[in-house]
Amino acid sequence: MSIVKERMADHAAVLAATESLIPDIEKAGALVRDALAQGHKLLFCGNGGSAADSQHLAAEIVGRFQKERCSLPAIALTVDTSVLTAVANDYGYDTVFSRQVEGLGQAGDILIGISTSGNSKNVVAAIELAKRKGLKVIGLTGAGGGKMAELCDICLAVPAQVTARIQEMHIMIGHILCEIAEEAY
Ligand SMILES: O=C(CO)[C@@H](O)[C@H](O)[C@H](O)[C@H](O)COP(=O)(O)O
Ligand SMILES: [Zn+2]
């Protein structure tokens, strides 16, 4: 089989296995929809490809996904290079997201932490602080959920080991969450 066919088959197999997450994706969608409807905001964080997912999904919420509606509040904690470099330089890279949760997060907001391993220290630290501040936390991880599994209110652990395949499911799940959030408008 060619590499192209093989990767498409891998993707299809992970997609089929991800059907096991449908009930929890529905719960996460309701959590996001209700928080936004009550005037709370979404905070996204993650590293590398998951930083890109954070920005992509925050843009769907502030701009629009598929429906003409009012703007809704969402922030990717991955985008402000002055904040990221200052906090990393002064306090260490592990605190780049938690420091922003401390400054920007309010009770009732939702932190969406994205990590294929579920173990990225800066994402885990952001989740721990978010819980202390009364935010709800949705995790997007790979199989098992790593350290995030027991910290998140809802941990959507894609049943796969390969980073790229996990990320492909993360952006699909993120788009579904955006669509559910938009239902309220
Ligand atoms: O996109 C990719 C690989 O597909 C990479 O940039 C990947 O996101 C980075 O290696 C991250 O640092 C991995 O972190 P995590 O998913 O384990 O939290
Ligand atoms: Zn990638």
Torsion of CA 27, 178, 78, 40, to 10 degrees: -70
Is any ligand 1 atom within 6 A of the Cβ of residue 144? no
Is any ligand 1 atom within 6 A of the Cβ of residue 50? yes
Q: pTM here? A: 0.98
Helix (H) or strand (E) holding 132: helix 121-133
State the ipTM, two decimals.
0.98
Report the separation in Å between the CA atom of 114 and the middle of ligand 2, taken as the mean of its atom positions: 12
Is any ligand 1 atom within 6 A of the Cβ of residue 141? no
The answer to whether the beta carbons of residues 94 and 123 sit under 8 Å apart is no
Predicted pLDDT of residue 1: 75
Q: Which residues are annotated as a binding site for substrate?
A: 47-49, 60, 89-90, 115-117, 120, 167
Residue numbers of the chain with a pLDDT score lower than 50: none
Predicted pLDDT of residue 52: 98
Predicted pLDDT of residue 112: 99
The CATH number of 3-182 is: 3.40.50.10490
Predicted pLDDT of residue 26: 98
